[in-house]
Structure 1
Amino acid sequence: MKRILLIIVTACVVIGAGISLYLYNAIRSPLTDGAVEASNYIENEQLLNQVMNVSFYHGEEGYWVAEGLTDEGDEAFLWLNQNEEKREDPLVLLKEDGITKDNVTEQVANELGVGSFESVRLGLEEGQAIYEFTYHSEATGKVFYYVSFETGDYIKSYSLHTNP
């Protein structure tokens, strides 16, 4: 009897893990496929010579944020609108034209008195390159804090309050 129960429990765990893995891949697939498509578009249109990394940012609009190299070999970031009809003028900024992720993270952590962030990522708001910081505050809930990529100056913030 114990052996049958052990087999049933093991089978349920294996099936549950398989379903979870399938759902995870199904949910992530549009982002993975979109990143590949954005990378191919950037290289085919010769917007960057080489694409090293692509991430997704969704603010007012969705953007693919690519890190790569220009024709001159300079490190750069490129913001490509997710909407194919709005891709005519992607924003390209040299990495040296902005504050490094490490420096701005240290700066914002000191300003806010935050020990760590859930995420720090590049985005685009109102045509301006930004860093988006997310963290959890017991007083205000989940906080989104935005600073300029080029200067590190505060742009805006908001929080999603959670019930106690």
Structure 2
Amino acid sequence: MTLGSLWLLLARRTRLWMVGGTLAVLAGTALGLLSLTAFVDSGRSEPLALLPSMALSLGGGYAVLFPGISASRCNVRIHRNWRGHPRTGRFLWTLSLAVAVAGLGTCIAAGTVNPLAPGVLVWMFMGVYLALAGWATAIIGASAAARQDQPEPLRAGARVPGR
């Protein structure tokens, strides 16, 4: 099953929410990088400048995550069926966990330098993590639902019903 065929399994409205949320996360991350450069230059954080970045990053991340979760119509076991999931879904799932760990490490390291720095950084990492996790969940869930809808393949020597 290709990524394009999995994309077609998602409902049109789900796809719109996920694409819109991804664009919002990208915009929020870009605004966060702008506020980060202003923070590095002045050493002070502007809370009103962080609000648009926070709203776009977190709002967009959840706009991807919730439809991604709802795309699965069956129980998905991420670790138990790891080899059965598409490579793209496994890659995005692993990448989302790497972004979460890198974000945590970066925020801890930045907090030792300046206690205001984690507040500037956390929204950027969190939005990207939520978006990646949402896309991974949608791909893995859609493929699991497609596998569940297909009839089981015949094994050698198995009897065909009705014959």
TM-score range normalised by the length of the shorter chain? under 0.3
Between 1 and 2, higher relative CO (CA 8 Å, sep ≥ 6) is seen in 2
Q: Name the TM-score, length of structure 1 as normaliser.
A: 0.22
Q: Which has the higher helix share?
A: 2
